[in-house]
Structure 1
């Protein structure tokens, strides 16, 4: 049986730590992304918990202490916050889990859910007579905090306003698993680009948000035709990199490409949302692959070192190598020829 560190049980025992369930000495809290099947299924709390465990099964379940599971058929500022995030935050505060600093590890829409948490957790907990959580950083994989153009298209289809050509039909079916036929759009509404960027855009809890991004697609490039610039098959780089504006970006950096090529990137992001710092970029990594246990190629670093909220730093070592074929230098993170992106992140110190 696969070892899991943190279930959604409300017992205090669920918050006990193991030596491996931390990044450095900091407990890890997982916040997953969109689970499309829940839009139609509308699962109850026990099913939401089971889905959350399944979501992280490839790697992060064994490297975390707590999960915040939430259902896709609800809204971020609605029941996702009140019925799912709040009870877990209260439990974390009561158990002093984050007294020495927690790191939230998010994937996809979990980036947006976490931003709402960062903006509200202090007031929520203080109003309950509890100490706010000491969240020193978030590690955001394939972050959808800037929304996804695919969500705009999906909502239009569900509401009957989208022109359903063959390519669009295939793209949405590949992403969601089926053509949506339910009147419930749930968190897809929050994922629409304009809506996502209006949800807690400047959270009171401004902690470093470190980004880990991919540039490949599981969908043979079909979904990518509906996403601006470079993307991971589900979310464009304007969101995954943490750009302050929507645009057609080719990299999270102005000086290094997704494939590690060291050259000026005229299409690289230059302006970021507050406290957003892209770190690792992988040309071969897909939207789901960034949190998986399958190696999808070498990765490069947009930033080698980022400071956390407690003043400590996390860093990666890189090496530059000359390519006679391309007549230029390439930069790769040491160890990325054999370690997955998630393995590299879990070892950050």
Structure 2
């Protein structure tokens, strides 16, 4: 009875009518390292999920998919946590006129698996598939993270592990991982992540918001190829189809907004992945907050959602410097005043 009551409390609290955008918003959070050790129960998973989004997105959402990091995506994360929410979204008609899923970090990978399967699962259950018009993916880890591979190596005690790597992993996870508590870290390994629903049939645009600053004193970036946000490399956050040391999601503009040819930019993307906002002022975790951290640039100006609604941002090209040192920077309008999350939400209201 207690388990059933917890389920009812969890599912019921996910849904509300408090959203202002044209589309109901559904949140899918990212990896929560502390859960590897705490192994939370269902009620605690819901509490952690609420806390995850509280800085900005929580009151703007109609629903959340809260999932535990000590489990695997194709196991209990989907069967026990995502599937009940998908059913309720369908039964309530939340996405009947279209809805937007917002993901962060590993939520990007969870969402890719759900997009590839939700229509079939719901049809087989006699329910209407969800009409998802797009996902907005912040610091997406859909391409995996090399830190996931390294954390597992540290946990399993590989002989070549050095002190610098152990320190970097402990900064990210908060502690040295135990081989008994690896959970979704297994799914975050680069090769594993890229094999999970790599070519989904659903033609739903995955619009990417990409950061390139580091909260860990640059320590974790030593183990990530190319430009990174402290947790995932740009091959993952940009949505690249291959793994390489990329320095931008665009061949024409850098993470700092400078208009110039990028010699190591991503040129091939996973299906329906569209990097849009980029900034070297935001980090993996900072990208979700309501704090304006610096100007933002554009990798792509707009994308059509599945209902053909245009979603995009205006920008200005601003020159700075003198003579041969003069450079031009592409700056998203309003990014000198608003956080990246606020920019994304404001555009949903337009």
TM class, shorter-length: over 0.9
Which residue in the other structure is 2:99 paired with? Answer: 102
Superposition RMSD on alpha carbons, in Å?
1.3
SS in 1 for 2:195: coil
1:70-117 residue CA offsets vs partner (Å, 9 max, x unmatched): 000100000000000000000000000000111000000000000010
Which residue in the other structure is 1:193 paired with? Answer: 190
Query: Structure 1 stretches of 5 or more lacking a match?
Result: 1-6
Which residue in the other structure is 1:4 paired with? Answer: none
Runs ≥4 in structure 1, deviation > 6 angstroms?
A: none
1:75 matched to 2:76? The reply is no
Task: Tell me by how many angstroms 1:157 deviates.
Answer: 1.4
Give the structure with the larger helix fraction.
Answer: 2
Q: Contact 1:244/1:272 (CA < 8 Å) preserved in 2?
A: yes
2:302 to 298, 305, 308: 305
Task: Tell me by how many angstroms 1:298 deviates.
Answer: 0.3
Query: For residues 294 and 285 of structure 1, what CA distance do their matches in structure 2 show?
Result: 10
Task: Tell me by how many angstroms 1:184 deviates.
Answer: 2.3
Task: Tell me by how many angstroms 1:206 deviates.
Answer: 2.4
Which residue in the other structure is 2:10 paired with? Answer: 9
Query: For residues 86 and 228 of structure 1, what CA distance do their matches in structure 2 show?
Result: 35
Which residue in the other structure is 2:27 paired with? Answer: 30
Q: 1:151 to 1:305 in 2, by over 3 A?
A: same
Q: 1:233 to 1:241 in 2, by over 3 A?
A: same
| TM-score of the two chains, using structure 1 as the length reference | 0.95
Query: For residues 58 and 162 of structure 1, what CA distance do their matches in structure 2 show?
Result: 41
SS in 1 for 2:64: strand
1:189-241 residue CA offsets vs partner (Å, 9 max, x unmatched): 00000000000011122200000011000001000000000000000000000
Task: Tell me by how many angstroms 1:181 deviates.
Answer: 2.3
Query: For residues 159 and 259 of structure 2, what CA distance do their matches in structure 1 show?
Result: 41
Q: 1:80 to 1:8 in 2, by over 3 A?
A: farther
Query: For residues 163 and 44 of structure 2, what CA distance do their matches in structure 1 show?
Result: 33
Query: For residues 239 and 159 of structure 2, what CA distance do their matches in structure 1 show?
Result: 28
2:177 to 177, 180, 202: 180
Which runs of structure 2 are paired with 1:271-286 in the superposition (5 Å)?
271-286=268-283
Which residue in the other structure is 2:113 paired with? Answer: 116
1:288-323 residue CA offsets vs partner (Å, 9 max, x unmatched): 111111211100000111111111011111001111
Q: Contact 1:159/1:183 (CA < 8 Å) preserved in 2?
A: no
Task: Tell me by how many angstroms 1:170 deviates.
Answer: 1.1
Which residue in the other structure is 1:3 paired with? Answer: none
SS in 1 for 2:293: coil
Task: Tell me by how many angstroms 1:15 deviates.
Answer: 2.9
| Total equivalences in the alignment | 339
Q: Which moved more, 1:92-101 or 1:200-209?
A: 200-209
| TM-score of the two chains, using structure 2 as the length reference | 0.94
Which residue in the other structure is 2:342 paired with? Answer: 343
1:237 matched to 2:230? The reply is no
1:164 matched to 2:165? The reply is no
Q: Contact 2:153/2:161 (CA < 8 Å) preserved in 1?
A: no
1:60 to 48, 57, 61: 57
1:52-87 residue CA offsets vs partner (Å, 9 max, x unmatched): 001011111022111100000100000000000000
Query: For residues 89 and 293 of structure 1, what CA distance do their matches in structure 2 show?
Result: 28
1:228 matched to 2:225? The reply is yes
Task: Tell me by how many angstroms 1:182 deviates.
Answer: 4.1
Q: Which moved more, 1:203-212 or 1:104-113?
A: 203-212
Q: Contact 1:230/1:251 (CA < 8 Å) preserved in 2?
A: yes
Query: For residues 102 and 84 of structure 1, what CA distance do their matches in structure 2 show?
Result: 19
Query: For residues 14 and 160 of structure 2, what CA distance do their matches in structure 1 show?
Result: 48
SS in 2 for 1:116: helix
Task: Tell me by how many angstroms 1:327 deviates.
Answer: 1.1
SS in 2 for 1:197: helix
Query: For residues 82 and 126 of structure 1, what CA distance do their matches in structure 2 show?
Result: 16
Which runs of structure 2 are paired with 1:282-297 in the superposition (5 Å)?
282-297=279-294
1:321 to 308, 318, 322: 318
Query: For residues 338 and 50 of structure 1, what CA distance do their matches in structure 2 show?
Result: 31
